A and B are shown apart, each in its own frame.
Chain A
């Protein structure tokens, strides 16, 4: 008697052997769900593994671009991915080749800080504004040749210019400072001044930031030091003026959704507005929390699904537009307060300029594999992503996916902020409890941040030179 005799199926090797090692043979499978009773459990396990692997491979830092001064502004080229400009607080302007991490051109552009850089839509010229009350236009081609340290064109302003934005298609740009000025590139004088101070009322604060809408091209928004967020239309006058509790440091329009405006606020939060609702009570559609210090800059991903913020708390956060808390937070030991941030045109990288004389290059998705992938690998990654999404609500998966190591100062500040928030809410609840009903009404956090719409019908005087 033999030991164990098991009858096996006889199979033709041609059906299951590969001709070459690159062949992927079809595995015969019976998809009857009755035969796979543990499919959910197995997928759960796969999801667990993939979310763990995600954390294993989360290495976002790509490289840094060294400067001699703190970086104050960033700009990307409208067409070229590897091209970026940086400006420092000492007025130094640099052109970078990002793929080589090499400075291609450097010039002392302004006396004092370069507050903002913007590229013209043609891609060949770009504008810088600085503390020396000048607007300078530079040519990229000339810059690339080198030894060219003179601007192509210069505009003089009577006040300090703190920001500049360019129309998407037309040769117009808007600068902001004590006044908001619309310039035509062909003209040395501003075409139009959006000026509130002439009316003599208190709204004479200088403007911190101005941004053109890239989709609805005649729209632009500005934020001033009087905590106002103002919507303008170049075809007419300012449309709406919303007063916030705290100043707004930076603005960004969603490049895919024309009506979404995101503002980086001094009160550690980032607010997203729906400009269609400005006349109603609910202007703020989302509050993005997470930073533990003032948010200094915000920039949208070109897909419009995410944006990143730079903060005084020495970190960068990445938010999904529809979520209230950040998807990821980037920090390094040596990164100091981040003053500007930029999302690359191909949605892959984030640039952050900080006061530690560095511009850092990060991966937008920390665990993403860069470079060319085979189809199978991509499918595997897609499957893993889908599984993570599918099981993302399960506590273990969620915990792993959410877990981040934070530097101590952020961690402590976070706890402190939480305590403060709890204390405030407790106090409010107590006040509500001990006062007559209705006296202390419930106000949502989104409404609390907003003082109100300053749509008082007062039109600014137009002073076109």
Chain B
């Protein structure tokens, strides 16, 4: 919204400016089709205002003119440096235009300019009369003034041109810094005055981030390249590169579902992420994204020491310093207490709160230090923007509480509206939760409604009840943890009088129990985890597999033990080593291509010659082909739900091949490997031995009767003995006897060999041929 306005303003300003210039040269007043009365009124107040605006600030004007001279780039500039200046067109006009036509134009520029001839002529006459009326002195003064303006403009333009030409990095950096500062200030200002516009600004920021992400600037910049060359020698450069890498990850990390990510950070992350050292960076360092920006703003400790929600990571860290055992619990408790105090504002509760507050104060000082350090090191973020939460689902009570606290101190009216919003969203959430519970089978007792009712009875419970709901945030990723935490919290909170009477608590517990117990909940939990962690990191998440080997594991703990001073873990190193590989991306590209190929095959029912010409060298138009295109429904790909799997459907065997008795057998035969990569060499040779081996350069004589008769005489036993070496060894020495595949394999091999040995075997069944009686036999 705001941006659009601004751009429009810019353009119209520019137009106006040039129009003005012309008019000045002609010494004429601009004439437009606006109502006369308004114009005349403006004319009267003109002079005083014109005087005032001569004192417009140099820098301001300079920047404006710069932008105007960069006509083409204006929009781009605006986009990246969103809401850079809080320019109003009126402001600008007043500054630029020297005199009379100012007010009038302020009205006119938004309107079309249909000039009626008669009217204009009349006006011209009038003004001509007026001009005649002025004295020579006045005319001179006026001319001088005009000249002065012109000269100023010229100078500014020149300066701006020079500035544009400048290639000094330092200069540009300074400019950029200034611009950012200004942006922030404006955003802050805007937040106070116009929260919606501020929101737009934030969105603009987000957009900038996205654009930066798309451009991959941080990955591929020339600077990074050069630094990479230097990094081998200079350690500081290495550090800078690492920082760049980190920034890149932040920027490129997909900010999917900001609500959930915020949730993660706010509600659930706490202990878990601090435990996982590698993810700390992620939750500590807020990117430029509005989500983190918003949360950060909320996190900002107030000088008045109003209780604020602390960042979970920090909280855990602090608590980790103090006590290892129940650190999380106490942290939670504090949060809870803060909330209580904020919400209830009851006299009896305040005693305890103050005690708690005292203990907190020290921590919060530390927090402040940390925060300030962090904020200095990174980009400073304007404070006092709780706005972000407006758009988000305000599931988190804490968020809301901190919001409220801020709002109460800063602006009360706003808080009201925000509260309304929260309530709305809350209702939605409750409905969702209800549905989920129903699905899980908690029909009879609806804990939420119960709590809600109770809350209505009580004085301050209206806000407490939702806070309870927050704790059972089913959409949160760390659901299980939440549940655990609430249990703990409930245990400690029982000490508090305010919560003692709540019977709803027990019901909640019961509900939680049912949720925990039901397999469905676990399923949902898993899916949620999967869903929220989708964060399709393009990078390989290396999880070192601990093999059951006797070899010393130098990479893992042993390596760490060897060098204690080294703070980085082996996993970090590996992760870093593989960070540049686009394995996942490559895979996804590959899969995408496969899917596309699968879908390709545009069948069309379009007939040539209908609606257009046809002939040997005439092709149907694409539009026609598309219009009659058939979209045949086909079964979804088998890997459509498997993220890291590319399923080759072409390799599906549709029919059971002949020698196999069942699908299982066939599958087993395929599954059993025969290569030397997968089975020991001897087994490999045995498995791949050809069924028939032919000696080179040897004539294979037909089967002889002697051979057959010998077999027949000796009977089956001898034949089996001949078979036995291969068979027996195959049976006993086969490495994976247990798996069905090899067994099948044995059987199959037998069947295969049977063909070659059929002559030997089936000789037994030979004498079907009717042998003649001795008398019939011819003499030899």
Interface stretch of the complex, out of B76-84, B623-631, B767-775: B767-775
Q: Does B554 contact A (CB under 8 A)?
A: yes
A9 CA to B553 CA, complexed, in Å: 9
Residue in B574, B657, B769 whose CB lies within 8 Å of A219 = B769
Residue in B238, B679, B768 whose CB lies within 8 Å of A31 = B679
Do the beta carbons of B777 and A39 come within 8 Å of each other?
A: no
Per-position 1/0 for A352-391, Cβ under 8 A of B: 0000000000000000000010000001001101110011
Per-position 1/0 for A318-361, Cβ under 8 A of B: 00011000000000000000000000011110000000000000
Do the beta carbons of A39 and B673 come within 8 Å of each other?
A: yes
A35 CA to B777 CA, complexed, in Å: 71
| Residues of chain A within 8 A of B235, CB atoms compared | 1
A393 CA to B660 CA, complexed, in Å: 11
Do the beta carbons of A395 and B684 come within 8 Å of each other?
A: no
Query: Contacts A1-B239, A43-B674, A383-B675 hold; do A216 and B762 have CB atoms under 8 A apart?
Result: no
Query: Contacts A9-B554, A43-B673, A239-B770 hold; do A395 and B652 have CB atoms under 8 A apart?
Result: yes
Q: Does B573 contact A (CB under 8 A)?
A: yes
Do the beta carbons of A44 and B768 come within 8 Å of each other?
A: no
Query: Contacts A215-B704, A395-B651 hold; do A40 and B671 have CB atoms under 8 A apart?
Result: yes
| Residues of chain B within 8 A of A237, CB atoms compared | 772, 776
Do the beta carbons of B766 and A258 come within 8 Å of each other?
A: yes
Do the beta carbons of A383 and B688 come within 8 Å of each other?
A: yes
A346 CA to B559 CA, complexed, in Å: 63
Query: Contacts A257-B759, A394-B651 hold; do A4 and B576 have CB atoms under 8 A apart?
Result: yes
Do the beta carbons of A236 and B687 come within 8 Å of each other?
A: no
Residue in B238, B698, B755 whose CB lies within 8 Å of A1 = B238
Q: Does B411 contact A (CB under 8 A)?
A: no
Do the beta carbons of B705 and A44 come within 8 Å of each other?
A: no
A277 CA to B768 CA, complexed, in Å: 8
| Residues of chain B within 8 A of A392, CB atoms compared | 657
Do the beta carbons of B674 and A216 come within 8 Å of each other?
A: no
Do the beta carbons of A275 and B768 come within 8 Å of each other?
A: yes
A33 CA to B708 CA, complexed, in Å: 44
Q: Does B699 contact A (CB under 8 A)?
A: yes
| Residues of chain A within 8 A of B780, CB atoms compared | 170
| Residues of chain B within 8 A of A348, CB atoms compared | 694
Do the beta carbons of A7 and B685 come within 8 Å of each other?
A: no
Do the beta carbons of B762 and A346 come within 8 Å of each other?
A: no
Do the beta carbons of A303 and B769 come within 8 Å of each other?
A: no
Do the beta carbons of A396 and B651 come within 8 Å of each other?
A: yes
Q: Does B215 contact A (CB under 8 A)?
A: no
| Residues of chain B within 8 A of A79, CB atoms compared | 699
Do the beta carbons of B759 and A78 come within 8 Å of each other?
A: no
| Residues of chain B within 8 A of A219, CB atoms compared | 769
Interface positions, chain B 117-163, Cβ under 8 Å from A, are none
| Residues of chain A within 8 A of B671, CB atoms compared | 40
Residue in A1, A9, A46, A386 whose CB lies within 8 Å of B551 = A9
Q: Does B669 contact A (CB under 8 A)?
A: yes
Do the beta carbons of B690 and A385 come within 8 Å of each other?
A: yes
Do the beta carbons of A4 and B577 come within 8 Å of each other?
A: yes
Nearest chain A residue, comparing its CB with the CB of B687: A386
Do the beta carbons of A6 and B769 come within 8 Å of each other?
A: no
Q: Does A192 contact B (CB under 8 A)?
A: yes
| Residues of chain B within 8 A of A80, CB atoms compared | 699
Per-position 1/0 for A393-428, Cβ under 8 A of B: 111100000000000000000000000000000000
Query: Contacts A1-B235, A235-B771, A382-B690 hold; do A256 and B758 have CB atoms under 8 A apart?
Result: yes
Q: Does B619 contact A (CB under 8 A)?
A: no
| Residues of chain A within 8 A of B669, CB atoms compared | 390
Do the beta carbons of B699 and A81 come within 8 Å of each other?
A: yes
A40 CA to B671 CA, complexed, in Å: 6
Nearest chain A residue, comparing its CB with the CB of B689: A382
Do the beta carbons of A303 and B687 come within 8 Å of each other?
A: no
Counting chain B CB atoms within 10 Å of each CB, which of A258, A276, A347 scores highest? Answer: A258
For chain B, the count of residues having a C-beta within 8 Å of the partner chain is 74
Nearest chain B residue, comparing its CB with the CB of A191: B778
Q: Does B226 contact A (CB under 8 A)?
A: no
Q: Does B756 contact A (CB under 8 A)?
A: yes
Interface positions, chain B 221-250, Cβ under 8 Å from A, are 231-232, 235, 238-239
Per-position 1/0 for A96-135, Cβ under 8 A of B: 0000000000000000000000000000000000000000
Do the beta carbons of A236 and B238 come within 8 Å of each other?
A: no
Interface positions, chain B 683-729, Cβ under 8 Å from A, are 684-685, 687-690, 692, 694, 696-705, 708
Q: Does B670 contact A (CB under 8 A)?
A: yes
Do the beta carbons of A379 and B685 come within 8 Å of each other?
A: yes
Per-position 1/0 for B304-319, Cβ under 8 A of A: 0000000000000000
A392 CA to B752 CA, complexed, in Å: 14
Do the beta carbons of B653 and A257 come within 8 Å of each other?
A: no
A4 CA to B627 CA, complexed, in Å: 57
Interface positions, chain A 234-248, Cβ under 8 Å from B, are 234-237, 239
A303 CA to B758 CA, complexed, in Å: 11
| Residues of chain A within 8 A of B657, CB atoms compared | 392-393
A81 CA to B404 CA, complexed, in Å: 101
Q: Does A22 contact B (CB under 8 A)?
A: no
Query: Contacts A215-B708, A386-B688 hold; do A236 and B703 have CB atoms under 8 A apart?
Result: no
Q: Does B173 contact A (CB under 8 A)?
A: no
Do the beta carbons of B576 and A7 come within 8 Å of each other?
A: no
Do the beta carbons of B755 and A385 come within 8 Å of each other?
A: no
| Residues of chain B within 8 A of A30, CB atoms compared | 547
Interface positions, chain A 256-310, Cβ under 8 Å from B, are 256-259, 275-277, 302-305
Q: Does A255 contact B (CB under 8 A)?
A: yes
Q: Does A29 contact B (CB under 8 A)?
A: yes
Do the beta carbons of A6 and B573 come within 8 Å of each other?
A: yes
Do the beta carbons of B765 and A391 come within 8 Å of each other?
A: no
Do the beta carbons of A256 and B577 come within 8 Å of each other?
A: no
A372 CA to B695 CA, complexed, in Å: 11
Measured CB to CB, the closest approach of chain B to A45, in angstroms, equals: 10
Q: Does A36 contact B (CB under 8 A)?
A: yes
Q: Does A233 contact B (CB under 8 A)?
A: yes
Interface positions, chain B 539-558, Cβ under 8 Å from A, are 547, 551, 554-555
Do the beta carbons of B231 and A3 come within 8 Å of each other?
A: yes
Q: Does A217 contact B (CB under 8 A)?
A: yes
Query: Contacts A235-B778, A305-B755, A385-B688 hold; do A39 and B699 have CB atoms under 8 A apart?
Result: no
Counting chain A CB atoms within 10 Å of each CB, which of B671, B762, B769, B771 scores highest? Answer: B769
Query: Contacts A1-B235, A233-B772, A395-B651 hold; do A303 and B700 have CB atoms under 8 A apart?
Result: yes
Query: Contacts A39-B678, A43-B674, A233-B772 hold; do A215 and B239 have CB atoms under 8 A apart?
Result: no
A216 CA to B762 CA, complexed, in Å: 14
A386 CA to B688 CA, complexed, in Å: 6
Measured CB to CB, the closest approach of chain B to A235, in angstroms, equals: 5
Nearest chain B residue, comparing its CB with the CB of A320: B755
| Residues of chain A within 8 A of B675, CB atoms compared | 39, 42-43, 46, 383, 387
Measured CB to CB, the closest approach of chain A to B319, in angstroms, equals: 30
| Residues of chain B within 8 A of A165, CB atoms compared | none
Q: Does B747 contact A (CB under 8 A)?
A: no
29 A-B pairs with C-beta separation under 8 A: A1-B238, A4-B573, A4-B576, A4-B577, A5-B566, A6-B573, A6-B574, A7-B570, A46-B675, A78-B699, A81-B697, A182-B778, A215-B703, A216-B769, A236-B772, A236-B778, A237-B772, A255-B702, A255-B703, A257-B762, A276-B768, A346-B697, A346-B700, A382-B690, A383-B684, A383-B688, A391-B670, A394-B653, A396-B651
10 smallest A-B Cβ distances: which pairs?
A236-B772, A255-B702, A302-B700, A345-B699, A276-B768, A393-B657, A214-B702, A256-B759, A386-B688, A7-B559
Residues on A lying within 8 angstroms of B by beta carbon are 1, 3-9, 29-31, 33, 35-36, 39-40, 42-44, 46, 78-81, 168, 170, 182, 191-192, 214-217, 219, 233-237, 239, 255-259, 275-277, 302-305, 321-322, 345-348, 372, 379, 382-383, 385-387, 390-396
> What would 14 more interface pairs be, CB under 8 Å, given A36-B677, A302-B699, A383-B676?
A1-B239, A40-B670, A42-B675, A215-B705, A255-B702, A256-B703, A345-B700, A346-B698, A348-B694, A379-B685, A385-B688, A390-B670, A390-B674, A394-B651
